[in-house]
Amino acid sequence: MKQRTRKLVMMLASLLAAILLWLYVVTSVAPEATTRISGIEINLDGTIVLEERGLIITSQDADMLSLELSTPRVNLSKLNAKSIRVNADASKIREPGEYTLPCVVASFPDTVRSSNVQILRKVPDSVKITVSKLVSQPVPIKLNLTGSVKTGYSVEAGSAMLEPEEIVVVGPEEEVHMIDKAVVSYDVSSLEETTIVSLPVVFLNADGEEIEFSEHTTVSAPTVNLTLPVLRTREIKMGVQLQAGGGVRENNAIVTVNPKTIRVKGAADVIEALDDPFLLGTVDLSEITSHEERTFPLALPAGVTNISGESEVSVTIDLKGVSSASIPISDIRIINAPEGYRTELSTRTVNVNVRGGTEEINELKQNKNNGIYILVDLTDYTQDGAFTVTGKIVNETHPSVSVGKTVDIGIVITSNAPQPSPED
């Protein structure tokens, strides 16, 4: 047992001696070691200063380098790509152009003294950069509507609103100056109501090709909000209200309207509420002889727009199945004759103008006992003399026939004379 313990102690002592010998060799006999560290980032200093001068770095030919170093072995574990900082200073550049900047090792880890590290080689030892002028340009946005509008609807492109109306582009001069226009596109094929939508902005060059900006170019807004009004459209007939009169009924009138229809647009509820036909006004048929043309202003309700563009409508009225005639009337009746006076008609027959349906007018012309008579009221006459009085034309049997209202009747009034008998 004692022999085994003695053997273990001797082995541990030998291991310790070996470690001490290695430390001696490393620190005294061979203290320096060479190493290569790759993937060290090249930091460009002065970019903020360049932007203040209106400049921007648009390219660099390398962003990583490798270092070959000589240093005491104790430092090897402390040196790596993340613990070493390498700079290239661009702060002195004042004009656009191509520049070559030396790569400088700025620092090592705090636990490594820079005096204990010797740089044997840098790959690369410099970086080439391109510096461009930094510009800012506002670009108006244009709306591009695609697709076919559905039947019965109108897309009001002229009233469309874009928010914002322009985009500010900031970047290298050579990129920004490629911009010919900024466009947002929207398909209107399925629209039936006013739409609000967010759309991406596309920048095009003079050839109509889309521009792909580099990471150095920024835009003030990548999308815009589009408000696009959509209205209901409808084709409606034009017409007039006919008012019967003067022996003429509605079915006696042939109405021709020009234009026959118009196309209108507006909010859906307003357009759907429009009468069809849309009545322009009223025509009193008693005022029409046989043919007449009238013009009506086209006054549409508020909120309705006439797409067709007419401001007035022409209406022609022609009468059919209507005749006029002059019929002799000898049935003259006196009422309220003054007592003690004799009255005698000096007018025996009066021609009365009548108008109405052709069949009725022909019947009146053929039938002397036609039910039309003249009523003479002598209430205001109480003296002798010959007078022309106003007789009222009465039409009791043909209400659809128009007759005149009054005629002049000659009458003689004589006092203290017996009234003639009906046989006289």
**If phi over 0 gives left and psi between -120 and 50 gives alpha, with beta otherwise, what is residue 416?**
left
**CA dihedral sign of residues 355, 357, 362, 363:** negative
Q: What is the DSSP letter of 90?
A: -
CA dihedral angle for residue 175, residue 179, residue 184, residue 189, rounded to 10 degrees: -120
- Whether the CB-CB separation of 46 and 92 falls below 8 Å is answered with yes
**pLDDT tens track for 333-379:** 999 999 889 999 999 999 999 898 888 888 888 877 788 999 999 99
pLDDT of residue 29: 42
**If phi over 0 gives left and psi between -120 and 50 gives alpha, with beta otherwise, what is residue 98?**
beta
The percentage of the chain sitting over the pLDDT mark of 70, rounded to a whole number, equals 91
Distance CA 187, CA 194 (A): 13
Residue 162's contacts (CB-CB under 8 Å, 6 or more residues apart) are 141, 143, 184, 224, 225, 226
- Whether the CB-CB separation of 400 and 249 falls below 8 Å is answered with yes
Residue 318's contacts (CB-CB under 8 Å, 6 or more residues apart) are 253, 254, 256, 290, 291
**CA dihedral sign of residues 57, 125, 86, 94:** negative
Give the Å distances, CA to CA, from 63 to 43, 44, 128, 173. Answer: 8, 9, 10, 23
User: For the purposes of burial, counting CB atoms within 10 Å of the CB of 293, is it exposed (0-12), middle (13-18) or buried (19 or more)?
Assistant: exposed
- Whether the CB-CB separation of 351 and 328 falls below 8 Å is answered with yes
Which stretch of 16-20, 308-312, 346-350 has the lowest confidence by average pLDDT?
A: 16-20
Distance CA 55, CA 173 (A): 9
**pLDDT tens track for 206-227:** 999 999 999 999 999 999 999 9
**If phi over 0 gives left and psi between -120 and 50 gives alpha, with beta otherwise, what is residue 193?**
beta
Nearest residue to 179 (alpha-carbon basis) of 192, 163, 167: 167
Q: Is 372 helix (H, G, I), strand (E, B) or coil?
A: strand
- Comparing 22 with 256, the larger pLDDT belongs to 256
- Whether the CB-CB separation of 143 and 162 falls below 8 Å is answered with yes
The predicted model scores a pTM of: 0.63
**pLDDT tens track for 270-299:** 999 999 999 999 999 988 988 999 999 999
The percentage of the chain sitting over the pLDDT mark of 90, rounded to a whole number, equals 73
**pLDDT tens track for 141-160:** 999 999 999 999 999 999 99
